[in-house]
Structure 1
Amino acid sequence: MTTTPEQAKSMARNLRAALSLEGTEISHSSALELVARSLGHPDWNTACAALARQAAPDDAPRFLRCSPILRIFDEAKARAFYCDFLGFRVTFEHRFAADMPLYMGIERGDLSLHLSEHHGDASPGATVFVATANLRALHRALSETRYPYNRPGLEELPWGLQVEVTDPFGNRIRFCQQDQ
């Protein structure tokens, strides 16, 4: 029988509830890690990916990566915010000609964004939600960077721990850790 990621999450919820009844409290992420190891995987991320591959038929579409496009208006401000402050690296740059708008790809870890000066690519003021691990470490690093235009806080919300940053063009990125 194949276990799906949804079934493994349900197993983690049940394990957490059963342990709670016995007087042992564990976080949801700890329960996920225990279930992953019980299914023979080294950690939850590896288990989730492997279980998803097993559950999907070979000819089913698989979404490999998502790269939201965010509208920018000033290349220098975009580089200062995304590269210097947030720690992204540029993966590609494209212009149809030297005096044309910039289209640029940036990455940090598994997070990929595209930034565009082209008016038809995106509207300013977008919001991107990013599931994040070790959010407190990210918050600490951003605070230590001393970027003069953004000092993000750390918010405890009903859906998780969150840090929100706003770029110079009104786009928001919400980094959220949901396994408190």
Structure 2
Amino acid sequence: MTNSQTDLPPIGSLKQQARNLRAQLQARNHTLSHSAALEMVARQYGYKDWNTISAKADRPRPDVAQQALQIGQILRGSYLGQAFTAELRGLQVFAGGARRRVTLHLEQPVDVVKFDSFSALRQRITGIIGWDGRSAECTSDGLPQLVLELPN
């Protein structure tokens, strides 16, 4: 059990934990609402309820100031599991710095389709990342859609 803001994962990860908990209980024939699963996750981290933990998780972390991003900066990361190098073309900061919308122009396009007889190459992507450089949105296998290696 923890009650430290710096130990909290991003809000998207907390929600995923609640979905996983609910699915595991349903596999054992225990019915649990999504809101009840969220409340249980909050209590596991030492918070009294979901509203409290979600407010804490959305606050900027102390290391956010050190992760300054600038238009024109070259970044590395992965999109849909594919590594890339890209130029930062757009940046919008919101939620007090806890979330950032980034628009990236990739040096080499990535194929966003995993089907042998069809391709859809994308060279410009936009996504919302948290303080850790990861998107809350995940692929079907549970990995973040967008992951940036943030500068120190």
TM-score normalised over the length of structure 1 = 0.32
Q: TM-score, normalised by structure 2?
A: 0.37
Larger Cα Rg: Structure 1 or Structure 2?
Answer: 1
